[in-house]
Chains A and B, each alone.
Chain A
Amino acid sequence: MFNAKPTANRAGELAADARFAAYDEALAEANLVSRPVGLLDLEHFEANAKDLVQRATGKPIRVASKSLRIRRALEHTLGKPGFSGVLAFTVPEAIWLAESGIGDVVVGYPCADASALQALASSDVAREAVTLMVDDIEQLDLLERAAPGHPPVRVAIDMDASYRPVRGVTIGAARSPLRSAADVTKLAVQILRRKNLRLVGLMAYEGQIAGVGNGEAGAKGTAVRAMQRASAADIRTRRAEAVAALETLVDLEFVNGGGTGSLESTTRESAVTEVAAGSGLVGPGLFDGYRHFRPKPALYFGLNVVRRPGPSTVTVLGGGWVASGPAGQDRLPTPAWPPGLKYRGTEGPGEVQTPLVGDAARELALGDTVYFRHAKAGEVAERLEEIAVYSHGHIVDSWPTYRAEGKAFL
């Protein structure tokens, strides 16, 4: 298995060597000579998809669009067995996806944008396909105000899945204020008392398991794994209680949980009907840090070497495509090829230029391509218009990003 970490063995390196040479050749063959360039390795993408489906053990995977932000990639994935529906990140995005033919789009986050809510309420196609996420009565009021007397709209409830081992300590994302089955039930009653809302689902995202690497050696890794085990037991109980409570009121269409890093524990919960995943398809840098699975890197961006500040330093044009989250080293793109390149200690990847140091820099000529992997989600698609799709030695397709389609949702 290819691995961009410096620990890669020699055989791996040779295989990787050949692979990047093949990328270079394929791009040249397709006359894709401009940099930056985005490249999606479809073989790795497919292998990742297969691995996710295996890890989900029979529960359908809802594709998290924020990790891709490429419509063709979403459609390609939804065409495979084991995947069903999209977990979108904004309402305008969901409407657009629905109107472009995706029949099941759950918006994973609440919306307070009156015009977006109004647009949803007035689109027959979208109302049929899109499910709004709510966790507060005020959100219901916002919808009613934006589209008074609107036709029936599908909604799902977001429940907090963070882990609180002791009073005052919260591990995980601050999302929904609804923590207990009773909290969830109270909102469900408010939804059901409104004639034109249809409660169809429940979601709870255990980010502290799904999105926190647990592969570190030593005390820290042990602690993270112990926290994740305890948190999995906690959310298992709470999700089951919430589902049991909601089932006193409605027959839910779906109960969504988890993400790429938590498929194993989430899918084992009998209350869960589907899991979510996105990053696992492309295997960005932050997903190198898990013990129980290792996606293959499937999405790269290539930058041109444009300058040589010193014998073992080159500078590429671009590179500062930093991921969201608490700002830190781990949010930076990973230089992937040639191996051994590092950022300068005093200077990270810049908005226009990025110096890289290391032995490999000596061998690079101006105009050569350095390949990077982004750290987290949709960073590449936010910067590029097209992604070259590589398969078996050739560029077989080119997929426009959301950006290329004129969609800057967030």
Chain B
Amino acid sequence: MRNPRIPGLSKSGTWRNWASSAMATPDTVAMPRDEAEVMELLGAANDTGSTLKVVGGAHSFTPLAATSGTLLSLDHFSGIIRVDLPTNQVRFRAGTRLRDIGRLLEPYGLALANMGDIDHQSLAGAINTSTHGTGLAFTGFSGAVTALRIILPDGEARECSPTLNPGLFQAARVGLGALGVLTEITLQCVPRFKLHAREEPEPLAGMLESFVDRVVLSDHLEFYWFPYTDTALAKTNMRLPDDAPLDPVPWHGRLISDELVGNAAFAALCQVGAKIPATVPPINKLAAKALAVRSYTDQSERVFVAPRRVRFREMEYSVELAALPEVFAAVRTALESHPQKISFPLEVRATGADDTWLGTASGRQSAYIAVHRYAGEPSREFFQAMEQVFVHYGGRPHWGKLHTRDSSYLSSVYPRFDEFLAQRDAADPQGTMLNEHLRHILGR
């Protein structure tokens, strides 16, 4: 059988995620066209004691989607199924890529309320890992899910909402891909809007002091910090009505979130830094200095998202919002005393609390700190050092980003961890949806 074009799958049949931090060789791959096919494949895996995983955009750094059994892509499950105009709730096919959603929602005059840095993910992948952007009045994708449809390993489809199979609904809103195959997801959307973005370097000290207050006042605030410098680059997005005039970024002017953090110019710097670590601090000082104030206004999905052409590895933890200054200071100390020189800027964001069970902001207003290593650099020791700090503060790892937590730690930071496990075990008693990574984090 010819391999369908499954994200991350090579011609030889090896599967790799975007960052090449996870690898697997599935024995069966398929790109089903309808639910009946999904049911058949899942039923077959379940009956033969095999395993099945779905890959969305293969953008998780963790091996959540790795399998030696059956690997499915739901890339044929794309598009809008139903739009409820009175409530602005939109039912999508679960494989819909985030990058297509702006175009899909445009005719309806709707948009996603919030987005992360990139849009390569599938909707199902995003909600399964609690993917988020920034903005205290907003939640991650999972918080916006109002209903979903999941095929369980017994081959049956279940409609889930706060009133229909509510336990399964709560578990599957951030399901880690461990319960079944999502085929449809209903999201609370909002009327289309524009964003005014302002990117501005400022002293790190002031940013840390004021972040918790400013994140309340700004619609979407985040900042980058170049290690070894005293400069933060703030990116503040304010929401404007859809009829606000456009003032897009001129092509040559793409800066922090694209050229510096994401792409070619930055890769060049990283390569120098990787080869001659001593150059990193001065390079970073240079980079931070080079940043200029910039502002622009564009359609929301064009402002939220920026290209990431450089391959990197990432760890991100959420902590209590109020603890951010303290945690950040500890992270900074640990980073600057670490023997490896870190070229990649840290990213700090925040979201409101949500009522999901395994969402990284479940039940608490959260700040997120993300640390990265350029793909060519060793990352394990550095991430270990960072993780120690995060864990000390009761941090919750992003499910799709690198971490080493196991079930005993995770159950200590997620009050509803056991309820999740109960739902998971009932949905998939044979462990068809599990892999090594999930067994580790779930203790199964």
Contacts and interface: CB of A to CB of B under 8 A. Distances in A.
Interface of A: 181-183, 185-186, 189, 192-193, 245, 248-249
Interface string B68-97: 000000000000111101000000000000
B85 A248 contact: no
B107 interface: yes
In the A-B complex, the 3 residue pairs with the smallest Cβ-Cβ separation, listed nearest first, are A185-B107, A182-B107, A186-B107
23 contacts: A181-B107, A182-B106, A182-B107, A183-B107, A185-B107, A185-B108, A186-B107, A186-B109, A189-B85, A189-B107, A189-B108, A189-B109, A192-B85, A193-B85, A245-B107, A248-B80, A248-B81, A248-B82, A248-B83, A249-B82, A249-B83, A249-B85, A249-B108
Contacts, number: 23
A189 B88 CA distance: 11
Nearest to A193: B85
A243 to B, nearest CB: 14
Interface in B81-132: 81-83, 85, 106-109
A83 to B, nearest CB: 33
Contacts of A249: 82-83, 85, 108
A48 to B, nearest CB: 41
A52 B81 CA distance: 35
Contacts of A192: 85
A185 B80 CA distance: 12
B382 to A, nearest CB: 47
Interface of B: 80-83, 85, 106-109
Given A185-B108, A189-B107, A193-B85, 11 more contacts: A182-B106, A186-B107, A189-B108, A189-B109, A245-B107, A248-B80, A248-B81, A248-B82, A248-B83, A249-B82, A249-B85
Nearest to B81: A248
Taking each of B82, B107, B109, which has the highest tally of chain A beta carbons within 10 Å of its own beta carbon? B107
Contacts of B108: 185, 189, 249
Contacts of A245: 107
Contacts of A189: 85, 107-109
Nearest to B106: A182
Q: A-side binding surface: helix, strand, loop or mixed? A: helix
A249 B109 CA distance: 13
Q: B-side binding surface: helix, strand, loop or mixed? A: mixed
B33 to A, nearest CB: 15
B77 to A, nearest CB: 14
Taking each of A186, A193, A249, which has the highest tally of chain B beta carbons within 10 Å of its own beta carbon? A249
Contacts of A181: 107
A189 B83 CA distance: 10
A181 B83 CA distance: 15
A249 B83 CA distance: 5
Contacts of A193: 85
A248 B82 CA distance: 4
Contacts of A182: 106-107
Nearest to B107: A185
A245 B82 CA distance: 9
A186 B242 CA distance: 15
A133 to B, nearest CB: 20
A197 to B, nearest CB: 12
Contacts of B83: 248-249
A185 B81 CA distance: 13
Contacts of A186: 107, 109
Nearest to B80: A248
Nearest to A244: B79
Nearest to A192: B85
Contacts of A248: 80-83
Contacts of B85: 189, 192-193, 249
Contacts of B80: 248
A237 B80 CA distance: 18
A186 to B, nearest CB: 5
Contacts of B82: 248-249
A189 B85 CA distance: 8
B411 to A, nearest CB: 41
A186 B103 CA distance: 12
B91 to A, nearest CB: 8
B438 to A, nearest CB: 34
A249 B82 CA distance: 6
B111 to A, nearest CB: 13
B351 to A, nearest CB: 29
Nearest to B108: A189
Contacts of A183: 107
Contacts of B107: 181-183, 185-186, 189, 245
Nearest to A180: B107
A24 B436 CA distance: 93
Contacts of B109: 186, 189
A137 to B, nearest CB: 12
A135 to B, nearest CB: 15
A378 B233 CA distance: 73
A194 to B, nearest CB: 11
B235 to A, nearest CB: 31
A42 B218 CA distance: 76
Contacts of B81: 248
A183 B82 CA distance: 17
A182 B102 CA distance: 12
A177 to B, nearest CB: 15
A186 B109 CA distance: 8
Nearest to B110: A189
A186 B106 CA distance: 8
A183 B108 CA distance: 10
A192 B107 CA distance: 13
Nearest to A249: B83
A236 to B, nearest CB: 19
A192 B86 CA distance: 9
A185 B106 CA distance: 10
A61 to B, nearest CB: 31
A155 B317 CA distance: 53
A160 to B, nearest CB: 16
B92 to A, nearest CB: 10
A192 B88 CA distance: 12
A185 B85 CA distance: 12
A199 to B, nearest CB: 11
A263 to B, nearest CB: 31
A248 B106 CA distance: 14
A161 B245 CA distance: 34
A189 B108 CA distance: 6
A399 B249 CA distance: 70
A192 B109 CA distance: 12
B105 to A, nearest CB: 10
A36 B80 CA distance: 59
A245 B104 CA distance: 10
B419 to A, nearest CB: 34
B191 to A, nearest CB: 11
B376 to A, nearest CB: 43
A247 to B, nearest CB: 8
Nearest to A186: B107
A192 B87 CA distance: 12
